[in-house]
Amino acid sequence: MEVPNKFRIEDRVAKVALVFSYVLLLLGGLFGFLQVLSRTPGMPKLETAQLYYEGLTLHGVALAILWTAFFIVALAVFVITRELNINMNGPLLRAGCILAVVGSLMGAVAILSGQATVLYTFYPPLQASPLFFIALAIILIGTWFIGAAVLEAIWRWKKLNPGKEVPLATYGVFTTIAIWLLATPPLAYAVLFRSLPMSLFNAPVDVLEWRLWFWFFGHPLVYFWLVPAVTIWYTILPRVLGTEVFSKTAAKAAFMLYLIASVPVGLHHQFVDPGVHPVYKYLHTVLTYLVAVPSFITAFNVIATLEKAGRMRGGKGLFGWITALPWGKDPVFTGITFAIILFGIAGFSGVVNASFNVNYNVHNTAWVVGHFHLTVGGGVTLTFIATSFLLVPLLFGRDYVAKKLLIAVPTLWFVGQLIFGIGYHVAGLLHAPRRTFTAEAGYLNDPNLLNTLHLVGQWTPWLQLGAIGGVIFALGGALFLLLTFVSIFKGPPFRMDGAALQISPTPEKATFFDRLGLLVGIALVIIIIAYSLPAIEIYTRGLSPAPPYWPTGAAAG
Ligand code: HEM
Ligand SMILES: [Cu+2]
């Protein structure tokens, strides 16, 4: 007899969030494809300058902020319901999801109608339509509702299970949501009290104050993407290999460090901003290196887990365990492991970015584009893609079609990312700028600037290599979306019952790590120390608001 699904409402929210995340991946990816060709000498120009910057805004907003966030919502709801086996607050969850979807659609309209060509960082004094900022505020409120539903469910579960440790995947979800809730209030302040008045009443904005609060949010945003990916590396990856994570304690220690050290580092995005004392920038540099520690812990833990799985499969000797793993056979394993390798490579350029003085050499160059495509586009997005191969059948009750083709998705993505990464990192070292429609940038095409032309000539092959890589991983993305949409509507039936699933290692007794309130308190103290100093500096000096400026060529300009 069919068991009724007790998570009907939660599953519906997760399904809406998941499908919406794939639509955003499609839209953002399409512009990625157009822009990587358009900005490369010798390749077809598929965009005009106006469309380039509109598309780039949509690319950043749709992929960096929204695709990741909607996938994470689906994952969080799935983990909480299946691992804790409890219902979530339906009205809160549903309201949050509706707000986030409506806000995203409003934002897309604002961008596509040329009313918000401000890139995903919307730095003032760049002016945009109020629709864009209202959309951002609505999305934020929606995510807070969803965050509240997740925390309430965990809190209720803890009350029902005194003395029991929080299971590992739920612990990762908690860390993710806590980081989001710690990071977003200053962003809400910047949007509601600075950007919105700027767009409604042309009110001037102090650029430095705004950027301080934007980057307060902007750095933890990357941990908001990464922690769910790491959660998958610690739980789902070992499961598909028939084992468990090498050290659960080290995994929890890593989550704890992510929680306490991922927010107070935002000044590392402002190394070149005048008006912030170098000592405060240095403090944030030190904290940035601290937040690299949990990533190192994760690297050791994941590799040890893979070694354990390889030896279980009969792998012998120093390297035999590597070849014993199901490379190229299991698309979930292959995708997640490729994602981890891409993320590991990106760690090297990340250390360069984080160095106070070396950063000056790569700031705002294509190097940065190479770096974050390997992290969020590689490590995170490929992990989410590979996890979809499991999540889509479980949630939609339909299996993947053409299963033999699935392995091509992580392979194309991995190879394309590596090539794109090499091309853009090297082009960046040669000072190819990011965020620039190179074909029409006056300073790059002025025949009197011989020196510049000389440099431009050197970038060309590397940008072309980047374009080849970009097209290859865009193809992987297109294949993934095609197979996923066909499977959701036409895939063969896949049975899912509404019962609990074992995602994490069996929970034991609670430990220090389960004192969640205390850990959030420690995080708050470090944040206050790291941010009060630059904030006092900026406010005591007094603000110097700048009048808004419509980007050239914008429809309302
Ligand atoms: C589908 C294949 C993709 C291609 C071909 C592609 C290509 C590009 C290129 C060439 C740029 C640099 C544009 C410039 O600075 O002028 C860019 C920017 C960016 N991409 Fe992608 N990308 C892809 C997928 C992704 C994914 C999956 C993500 C994240 C999940 C992502 C996130 C970003 C972000 C955040 C920016 C920066 C936008 C900005 O500077 O405002 N991209 N992309
Ligand atoms: Cu950062």
- Which residues are annotated as catalytic? 219, 223, 371-373, 434-435
Across the range 310-337, mean pLDDT stands at 96
Q: Is the predicted pLDDT of residue 416 greater than 80, yes or no? A: yes
CA of 216 to the centre of ligand 2 (A): 9
Instruction: Give residues with Cβ within 8 angstroms of 547, minimum separation 6.
Output: 125, 202, 204
Q: Percentage of the chain surpassing pLDDT 90?
A: 86
Q: With 80 as the cut, is the pLDDT of residue 497 above it?
A: no
Please, which residues have CB within 8 angstroms of residue 352's CB and are 6 or more apart in sequence?
Answer: 358, 359, 362, 367
Residue 557 binned pLDDT confidence (cut-offs 50, 70, 90):
very low
pLDDT of residue 450: 56
Assess whether pLDDT exceeds 90 at residue 446: no
Query: What is the pTM (predicted TM-score) of this model?
Result: 0.96
Write the residue with the smallest CA distance to atom 33 of ligand 1. 60
Q: Which protein residue has the closest C-alpha to ligand 1 atom 37?
A: 60
- Cβ contacts of 319 within 8 Å, gap of 6 or more: none
Yes or no: say if 143 and 69 are a contact pair by the CB < 8 Å rule.
yes
Angle at 262 between CA 260 and CA 268, to 5 degrees: 135
- Higher-pLDDT residue of 51 and 442 is 51
Ligand index nearest the alpha carbon of residue 36:
1
Q: Name residue 169's amino acid.
A: A
Angle at alpha carbon of residue 310, lines to 496 and 166, rounded to 5°: 50
**Ligand 1 pocket residue status of 377, Cβ below 6 Å:** yes
29 Cα to the center of ligand 1, angstroms: 8
Percent pLDDT > 70 in the chain is 96
Residue nearest to atom 23 of ligand 1 (CA): 32
Q: In angstroms, what is the span from residue 441 Cα to ligand 1's centroid?
A: 19
- Contact criterion met (CB below 8 Å) for 227 and 175: yes
pLDDT tens sequence across 326-380:
999 999 999 999 999 999 999 999 999 998 889 999 999 999 999 999 999 999 9
Residue 111 to residues 56, 62, 441, 515, 553, Cα–Cα distance (Å):
10, 11, 22, 43, 13
- What value does the mean pLDDT take over residues 234-260? 96
**C-beta 32 within 6 A of ligand 1:** yes
Which has the minimum average pLDDT: 93-107, 166-180, 288-302? 288-302
All domains in the chain, ordered by first residue: 226-258+273-436+446-494 (1.20.210.10)
Ligand 2 centroid vs 335 CA: distance in angstroms? 25
- Count CB atoms within 10 A of the CB of residue 249: 11
Q: With contact defined as beta carbons under 8 Å apart, do 472 and 73 qualify?
A: no
**Is the minimum distance from the CB of 56 to ligand 1 under 6 angstroms?**
yes
Distance CA 230, CA 285 (A): 23
Average pLDDT of the chain, as a whole number? 94
Cross-strand pairs, 398: 493
What band does 555 get if pLDDT is binned at 50, 70 and 90?
Answer: very low
2-6, 300-304, 398-402: the lowest-pLDDT one: 2-6
Average pLDDT for 521-538: 94
Residue-wise pLDDT tens digits, 34-90: 999 999 988 999 999 999 999 999 999 999 999 999 999 999 999 999 999 999 999
Cis peptide preceding 264, ω within 30 of 0: no
* pLDDT given at position 441: 77
Write down the pLDDT at residue 378: 95
